[in-house]
Chain A
Amino acid sequence: MNPIIQCTGLTKSFGSKQALRGLDFELNAGAPIALVGPNGAGKTTLFSILCGYLKPTQGNVTIFGHQPGSQALFGKVAALPQDAQLDPRFSIARQLMFYGQLQGFDKKTARSEAQRVLELVELGEVIDQKPGALSHGMRKRVTIAQALMGTPDLIMLDEPTAGLDPKNARNIRQMVAELSDQATFIISSHNLNELERLSETVLCLEMGEISQHSTISSKSETGYLTIQMNVTDNVDPTPAFKDLLGVNEVNNSQKNEFVLQYDMSEGLDLDQRLLECIAENGWNYHQLIKGQTLEEQLFSNA
């Protein structure tokens, strides 16, 4: 499979500060890719370079074999850049039609395409309004809509659900999930629960370097169960969990949350035995997750 993005020795400096330090990675087309990392890790800088807004100080990056920002990528690569706003002087229809025409649509088709993408973000009724008449969250959804125009192969969304209410954030996640067989999404977010539901590949940036590049559902001989308990007294279930057949280790990752690391060959029915153990001891549990949370995967060794 040809990688859609190839980065070699990618470095970006702002004065004496290095925002990206020699990144080397390749990303393939397919399920959504998560870009995570703490504030200042370089996520937005990487996004900006991939979109052609910034030029790298050193190194090379190609998208579908072309330099970012090159004409061959117009209409093929779409993005929701962080903090970018539509022009408040024009109606949303006028601006989306303008973008559509730049992508090769005629005026009439551009209008229907604008209507289509606005309906994807459940804002079909605001097409003739100006951005100033919309709330912050609605404006954000309109800017997500512009990224869906045409048939892009790669859609990069920088913090797509930041500032959205839970219902609309959920709608955006659903929309990404539904469209992910038509385009490859790269999503930058601090919401690890969100990324966990959407992504298979995670690119973790820290201090301008890649700290992890992994696949969430990687096949391994070691399995994980994460259980969140409703513990109201001072009972510690760790010894009981450790006694279960196949369990190698139990980590109390957060308050009332335990991660059981087990041998896959012996722990095929571990989830059932774990629930039996909880019932026998008269404990209650809140949630059982097969595998580790993304947060746990990324930061358990931090």
Chain B
Amino acid sequence: MEQLQRPGTFRNLWIISRFELVRLFQTPRGLMSIAAFAIIWYFILRYPIFKASQFVGIPGFRESVGDMFGQVGLSNLLEWPVAEFTVFWIFSVFLFPIFSLLITSDQTSSDRSRGTMRFITLRASRDSIFFGRFIGQLIIQALLLIGVLTATFFMSVWNNSLNWAEALDSAMIMGVNLMIVVLPFTAMMAFFSASVRSSRLAIILAIICWGLTVGLIGYLSYKWPIFENLIYIVPGRQLGDLIQSNDWATLQHAWLPVVQTVAFLFLGRTVLARSSL
């Protein structure tokens, strides 16, 4: 029996992050999440994205997008050089936060409820566990994102092989942006997961709090416009602006999700550090 390395915060954080991949790829629940994700994206890829070049130019599509995001939004959306990625962008900006909310809901809740966390805290700090799980969830989402970006890339090249450089460029810009988009949602679920003892309850609580916060801010800002700025605490606040941007200019909206992520991580870490196991 040989203990090769001294346990440390960062080493353990990395071990815990990697173990999240095992949770995804080697458990029925994880595989079901992947299956659900794959089925939804199969239909999005097979129909709207594969046929993007055909209907991005049709008036009905333009009208719908114009109604949703305004004429500026429409013109910016159409500036993406590859039609397949234009459609991918519209779907992914709104779908990835929902996926994020659903698949990252059990970061610490079930382990605390079952008592498994007690075995782990004898070997790793609560910070290692909290941040390790958070990073693990980000890695999982990055893998899923790379999967759909790759599929979209091949689809666009299949439709028009001359587009490959623009498609690759779009894939990179969108990949970076979508990871930033899911950051606050993953951190928010880390916080709710640390606060309750079931993943389902974490999802319900997140949706209720999100809805109530939006409603309350709407009411307060209607009565007292000074409260309008409170909307910046809501994850996803920047999505409307993001979809109306293109190219690397999209990163100008990154500050808000990053700040929200830091705030949620601070809250979640505090809750877990103080909670009884």
One of B7, B27, B277 near A102 (C-beta < 8 A): B7
How far apart are B114's CB and chain A's nearest CB, in angstroms? 5
One of A75, A79, A98, A146 near B7 (C-beta < 8 A): A75
B116-A84 in contact (CB<8A): yes
Closest to B113 in A: A85
How far apart are B6's CB and chain A's nearest CB, in angstroms? 6
Residue among A71, A78, A106 with most chain B CB within 10 A:
A71
How far apart are B87's CB and chain A's nearest CB, in angstroms? 36
B5-A53 in contact (CB<8A): no
A98-B15 in contact (CB<8A): yes
Residue among A78, A99, A103, A143 with most chain B CB within 10 A:
A103
With A78-B122, A81-B118, A89-B23 in contact, is A54–B4 under 8 Å at CB? no
With A53-B277, A89-B23, A94-B22 in contact, is A84–B3 under 8 Å at CB? no
Q: A81 vs B116: C-alpha distance in the bound complex, in angstroms? A: 10
Q: A22 vs B158: C-alpha distance in the bound complex, in angstroms? A: 74
B119-A54 in contact (CB<8A): no
One of A51, A83, A104 near B122 (C-beta < 8 A): A51
B125-162 to A contact mask, C-beta < 8 Å, 1/0: 11000000000000000000000000000000000000
A85-B116 in contact (CB<8A): yes
A151-B119 in contact (CB<8A): no
Residue among B111, B118, B274 with most chain A CB within 10 A:
B118
Chain B residues near A105: list those with CB within 8 A. 2-4
Closest to B276 in A: A54
How far apart are B12's CB and chain A's nearest CB, in angstroms? 5
One of B15, B19, B114, B124 near A85 (C-beta < 8 A): B114
- Residue A169 lies at the interface, judged by CB distance under 8 Å to chain B: no
- Residue B115 lies at the interface, judged by CB distance under 8 Å to chain A: yes
- Residue B59 lies at the interface, judged by CB distance under 8 Å to chain A: no
**Known contacts A83-B115, A94-B26; 13 further A-B pairs (Cβ under 8 A):** A54-B277, A74-B125, A75-B7, A81-B115, A85-B115, A86-B119, A99-B120, A101-B15, A105-B4, A106-B5, A109-B3, A113-B1, A150-B1
Interface residues of A (CB under 8 A from B): 48, 51-55, 69, 71, 73-75, 77-79, 81, 83-87, 89-90, 94, 98-99, 101-106, 109, 112-113, 116, 143, 146, 150-151
